[in-house]
Amino acid sequence: MSVTVGIIGASGYTGAELLRLAAAHPQFDVRYVTAETQAGRSVGELYPSLLGAYPELRTQTFDVGAAAGLDVVFLGLPHEASLAVVPRLVGRVGCVVDLSGAFRLRDATNYPLWYGFDHDQPELLAEAVYGLPELHRQELPGARLIATPGCYVTAATLALAPLVRAGFVGADGVIVDAASGVTGAGRSATATTHFCTIDENLSAYGLDGHRHSCEMEQEIGTQVLFTPHLAPMNRGILATCYARPSGVATSTDVLLATLGEAYAGEPFVMVSERSPSTKATLASNAVHLTARFDTRTGHIVVISALDNLSKGASGGAVQAANVALGLEETAGLSTVGVMP
């Protein structure tokens, strides 16, 4: 079974990662690739690492007619651009997988505060399936529109949601302290992402409330104080999550067992006593988790690591698309990181 694929907005890092993953997918056949600012250039020219997989493929400008009839179309566009494009594609392609935040939040009234625009597609927002298979797998088969989670949100949600659902974590007091590689800021350089700024530097940002806070609260089910950090590495996320116990008796062994049971049979989530590291997940779709109960302070600590471009974005999008299209969920994706 061949699955025809389009990638809209392929010149950015998530687009390049989608192309890399699609090249390894046994059923994906990339037919249509757009890059508005780079239209006409070959994929191999934009990303020489992809030359062997796409020796002839060239980027185009976006045209709905050219995308019509494709089995799946991935969108690597800015949030408001996706909001405008999605209504033109849904119903004309088999499945739209949006990597922006345009359809992640269930409540449209949250968009002006967290994204700075009014959401004008309430019906599609209601239809969109949140693309985290570990929590929403049953909703994905046959989905016409998938909202791929934010990278930080994937790390924090997979770490905390099972413990919240099991009753170990209270409804407030959750802190997510997470660091991401610079690719999370996108391909276009800014004053804060130039080499001279990033190298040998670690900085916090989003101190007045990062937009992923709302998405985390939606998916985890608790109030969350979230502080992101920019780390001097290309890709990866390490999230250290702190929570007050709800009053239910717990221990490190109980927390690890709860996470292990929640993710038993999940192909991409590994629970271990070992402290996770970003390098262990590099270029894979894996999430590494551990947990501790700190008896001295009475706090729960959960740590997760993943690749922000793979499981945190493009890999998670492919995983969700596989489920939606009735394909093998692991197709085109690896649990094995690149080392060294």
- Give the per-residue pLDDT at 172: 87
Whether 191 shows a pLDDT value over 80: the answer reads no
What residues make up the domain containing 300? 151-308
Whether 187 shows a pLDDT value over 80: the answer reads no
Residue 85 lies in a domain: yes
Closest CA to 17 of 218, 234, 315: 315
Q: Do 219 and 125 belong together in one domain?
A: no
Three-class HEC string of the chain:
CCEEEEEECCCCHHHHHHHHHHHHCCCEEEEEEECHHHCCCEHHHHCHHHCCCCCCCECECCCHHHHCCCCEEEECCCHHHHHHHHHHHECCECEEEECCCCCCCCCHHHHHHHCCCCCCCHHHHHHCEECCHHHHHHHCCCCCEEECCCHHHHHHHHHHHHHHHCCCECCCCEEEEEEECHHHHCCCCCCCCCHHHHCCCCEECCCCCCCHHHHHHHHHCCCEEEEEEECCCCCCEEEEEEECECCCCCCHHHHHHHHHHHCCCCCCEEECCCCCCCHHHCCCCCEEEEEEEECCCCEEEEEEEECCCHHHHHHHHHHHHHHHCCCCCCCCCCCCCCCC
Q: Do 296 and 315 belong together in one domain?
A: no
Residue 182 lies in a domain: yes
| Residues labelled catalytic | 151
Residue 122 lies in a domain: yes
The tens digit of pLDDT for each residue in 10-68 reads: 989 999 999 999 999 999 999 999 998 888 899 999 999 999 999 999 999 999 999 99
Q: Do 291 and 199 belong together in one domain?
A: yes
Q: How far is CA 101 from CA 87, 111, 125, 146, 207, in A?
A: 15, 9, 11, 11, 19
- Give the per-residue pLDDT at 1: 82
Q: Do 117 and 195 belong together in one domain?
A: no
The tens digit of pLDDT for each residue in 64-120 reads: 999 999 999 999 999 999 999 999 999 999 999 999 999 999 999 999 999 999 999
Q: Do 318 and 273 belong together in one domain?
A: no
- Give the per-residue pLDDT at 39: 85
Q: Do 142 and 8 belong together in one domain?
A: yes
Q: Do 157 and 302 belong together in one domain?
A: yes
CATH number at residue 108: 3.40.50.720
Q: Do 158 and 96 belong together in one domain?
A: no
- Give the per-residue pLDDT at 193: 81
Residue 103 lies in a domain: yes
Q: Do 145 and 157 belong together in one domain?
A: no
Whole-model pTM?
Answer: 0.96
Q: How confident is the model at residue 190 (pLDDT cuts 50, 70, 90)?
A: confident
Q: Do 207 and 294 belong together in one domain?
A: yes
Residue type, position 212, single letter: H
Residue 337 lies in a domain: no
The tens digit of pLDDT for each residue in 237-268 reads: 999 999 999 988 899 999 999 999 999 999 99
CATH number at residue 170: 3.30.360.10
Q: Do 129 and 268 belong together in one domain?
A: no
Residue 61 lies in a domain: yes
The tens digit of pLDDT for each residue in 275-312 reads: 999 999 999 999 999 999 999 999 999 999 999 999 99
Number of domains in the chain: 2
Q: Of residues 197 and 189, which shows the higher confidence score?
A: 197
Residues 173, 40: Cα–Cα separation, whole Å: 51
Residue 190 lies in a domain: yes
Residue 261 lies in a domain: yes
Closest CA to 99 of 33, 145, 164: 145
The tens digit of pLDDT for each residue in 132-175 reads: 999 999 999 999 999 999 999 999 999 999 999 999 998 888 99
Whether 328 shows a pLDDT value over 80: the answer reads yes
Q: Do 158 and 292 belong together in one domain?
A: yes
